[in-house]
Amino acid sequence: MATNSAQIAPTADIDPTAQIGPRAQVWHLAQVRENARIGEGCILGRGAYIGPGVIVGRNCKIQNYALVYEPTVLEDGVFVGPAAVFTNDEFPRAINVDGSRKGNDDWNMVGVNVGTGAAIGARAVCIAPLSIGRWSLVAAGAVVTQDVPDYAIVAGVPARRVGWVGPAGVPLIAGPNGRFTCPATGDLFVEEHGELKPMG
């Protein structure tokens, strides 16, 4: 287990094969499974679960009791709210057709990939297989069943796009000709064919 000055609570359960980056903080009762990689400067809240082989980029914040099942990949700077869930079984069953209990060889794991800077709200459920775009925002309580574009705000059950958001986390203000402005930074964006891109 590589800690490199990470702060790990005595009650955290870290597998010896997991890698914990420098300046990471792992709080009480968090569990990091075998071969998971936690990047530099990450924070894992109380009771957070990181599955085997999950990759978490730098400076991510995973709040209390979030469940990040393998093979999820979080790029740098991802926020995961309290009790959010990333699933990994497209067709879940506890048993096979013959009644025998399913083992690892009886199902095909699928994952969720989350782009840089994205934010996943409290109690959101992200149903794999799924890609969540850079700087996007998944509202609290949303159930995400389809890919989320970069900069999109999605909400509801099932989640649908309800707006656009910039890297500052503030909803963008619509202007003429498909242009949007961030009220926090003044950055400009343009929407073309259902995608948002920075201008300049």
d(C-alpha 97, C-alpha 58), whole Å: 42
Helix (H, G, I), strand (E, B) or coil at 47: coil
Structure tokens that stand for 143 in this block: 């159930």
Burial of 92 (0-12, 13-18, 19+ CB in 10 A): exposed
pLDDT tens-digit readout, 6-30: 999 999 999 999 999 999 999 999 9
Taking only the tens place, the pLDDT of each residue in 145-179 is: 999 999 999 999 999 999 999 999 999 999 999 99
Confidence of residue 4 (pLDDT cuts 50, 70, 90): low
Residues facing residue 119 across a β-bridge? 79, 137
pLDDT (0 to 100) of residue 73: 98
Q: What is the pLDDT of residues 42-86, one digit of tens each?
A: 999 999 999 999 999 999 999 999 999 999 999 999 999 999 999
Long-range contacts of 88-92 (CB under 8 A, 24+ apart): 88/51, 88/112, 88/128, 89/128, 90/128, 90/129
First to last CA, the chain: 44
3-state SS class at 184: coil
Contact between residue 87 and residue 67 where contact means Cβ atoms under 8 Å apart:
no
Domains of the chain: 7-165 (2.160.10.10)
The region that residue 53 occupies, defined by phi over 0 for left and psi between -120 and 50 for alpha, beta otherwise, is: left
Closest CA to 50 of 23, 78, 91: 78
pTM confidence score: 0.94
CB 63 within 8 A of CB 122: yes
pLDDT of residue 106: 84
User: Residue 177: helix, strand or coil by DSSP?
Assistant: helix
Distance of alpha carbon 191 from alpha carbon 62, whole angstroms? 30
